[in-house]
Structure 1
């Protein structure tokens, strides 16, 4: 069973520049979500403190207070993605220069990082691991830094097409039976 494929692409200067832009958009989207999450998480912790105090007061005398306190919710990665897409055209028009998946997949990865963080916190509380132990450390989502050695972005399966007979260079035009992968904006 083939699970995935790694394909090495030989990049010309135009393709290399496009990839660097896509890496930057992905990093920018992820960092935007992390910055927004940090602010929301601080506000959420304060709201949870208020909620626990109000709930304790309500449990002491439910007849005096008729309003049950509502538990605050932390926004999900889908909420951040919707908010980013709403302001994207006005504030960040450079994100439209690359494929749409470059910014969208960053939010999926951000959601995975946040869920891993909270899952690790729960495991840590259950197992009562020492704080200096290297096992099960819970890391808050961190900002991605610019790196020239590594970079990646996601291309959706609906964007990639396998074309038979279409050559990517004049040297290979006579080989009409060969298959080529056609990725938009890559050639």
Structure 2
């Protein structure tokens, strides 16, 4: 199976300059490819409408042809792109291809240009271009870049090995059986995943709120634990983040609501920082204090997201270990976000992220997840007799059946209906 481990890295200020340049180069190449794709497609479209079929010479643009065109003009027009690893160029065109593939498949909107300070800063490394140690990682081109900046001529070989490595905050979680030493601390032992084999696939270096991370994707082979036989249903919501049919509940932590006061104060301080408009280029120029405050706002957002993610990870991990078959409901999250009275609460609950964690972890553990249609009456249906009500407003927190006189919490009733749905789908699957 494929898995990934995201590790925080601690680069020096000189190494940060290289990482920022690599991210900027990837962003520039992506925007170049996006611009050329649009121009060539428009020319191709005009030729298809005006020129006879026998005389047409243009073809529809694709990422591979644009990559070849860029490599031809790269040395003359963009020589500064050679300051970073060539994986940056390959990754930029891979991203461009994925963006257009997702658009044509109807999974995303039309690709847009990446803007500095707005888009996610990252770049890729292929598995044969980086080396991973216990608490260090070598990034291709980093040592050479630092040497050129310092203009050091003596001892180039020794300095290359030292300057090309970046410190990692922790070791890789996935280790091969019998090859790694046993950790001395119990906490590190719990974090280790012993595998029969571990193969490096790729790495992604990214920046979030001023912190740098590397996500290492690996392909592992290990024995799966026996799959539990329990069948449960999980109903997600706003008041209770998740309710399981066996009685377990995940309380909504509401991290955004609890940190909204501090976040608003930081954003108001950011709005008062100096920013001017360049009369020649028309671009907005931000002061140094503005950038410092922007990082503080970003780190507060990161803190909120980490609180939410940590709670959901722990809950879904426990659920995947104890339940082999889980029934969940497909939610129309865009429609829920359109309600201006509930939009902030829906976003704070992150129901889509919770369901995605659940799908991934149950599949990894060898279980099954059955997704009910969004029209499945999990809330309106009685879990005892099957009677379906016409309406069930949000203000009614208790389900009262008029036929069998069942009185039950509405969320528990919905979870029981989803468990019944999962049982029925499992029976049809093995019939």
TM-score by length of 1: 0.68
1:157 pairs with one of 119, 124, 127: 127
Aligned residue runs from structure 1 range 66-85, under 5 A: 73-85=59-71
C-alpha distance in structure 2 between counterparts of 1:97 and 1:29, whole Å? 14
The structural deviation recorded for 1:97 is 0.5
Distance 1:94 1:87 in 2: 12
Query: Are the counterparts in 1 of residues 41 and 61 from structure 2 also a CA contact under 8 Å?
Result: no
Change over 3 Å in CA distance of 1:149–1:29 after alignment to 2 = closer
Q: Given the alignment, which residue of 100, 107, 116 partners 1:146?
A: 116
1:37 and 2:37 correspond: yes
Alignment of 1:60-139 (within 5 A): 73-120=59-106, 139=109
Distance in 2 separating the partners of 1:158 and 1:50: 48
**Per-residue Cα deviation, 1:122-152 (whole angstroms, up to 9, x for no partner):** xxxxxxxxxxxxxx6x632211000178410
Which protein, 1 or 2, shows the higher relative CO under an 8 Å CA cutoff with sep ≥ 6? 1
3-state SS in 2 of match to 1:7? strand
Q: Deviations over 1:17-55 (max 9, x none)?
A: 00110011000000000111111111122122236xx46
Return the offset for 1:11: 1.7
Aligned alpha-carbon RMSD (Å): 2.3
The structure in which a higher percent of residues are helix is 1
- Off by >4 Å, runs of 4+ in structure 1: 68-72
Shift of 1:119: 2.2
Cα distance, 1:77 vs. partner?
A: 0.4
Superposed displacement of residue 73, structure 1: 2.3
Please state whether the residue corresponding to 1:41 is helix, strand or coil. helix
Q: Which runs of 5+ in 1 are unaligned?
A: 56-67, 121-135, 164-177
Deviation of 1:101 (Å): 0.8
Change in CA separation of 1:4 and 1:73 when aligned onto 2, cut-off 3 Å:
same
Corresponding residue for residue 138 of structure 2: 182
Q: Compared with structure 1, are the counterparts of its residues 149 and 40 closer, same or farther at alpha carbon in structure 2 (3 Å cutoff)? A: closer
TM-superposed deviation, 1:3: 0.6
Report the structure number with the largest CA radius of gyration.
2
The alpha-carbon deviation at position 180 of structure 1 amounts to 3.6
Q: Return closer, same or farther for 1:100/1:39 CA change in 2, 3 Å cut-off.
A: same
1 or 2, which has the higher strand percentage? 2
Asked if structure 2 preserves the Cα contact closer than 8 Å seen for 1:162 and 1:181, the reply is yes
- 8 Å CA contact retained: 1:48, 1:71: no
The CA distance in 1 between the partners of 2:100 and 2:2, in whole Å, is 30
> Is this contact kept in 2: 1:25–1:95, CA < 8 A?
yes
| Structure-2 separation of matches of 1:117 and 1:50 | 27
Query: Which residue matches 1:166?
Result: none
SS across alignment from 1:143: coil
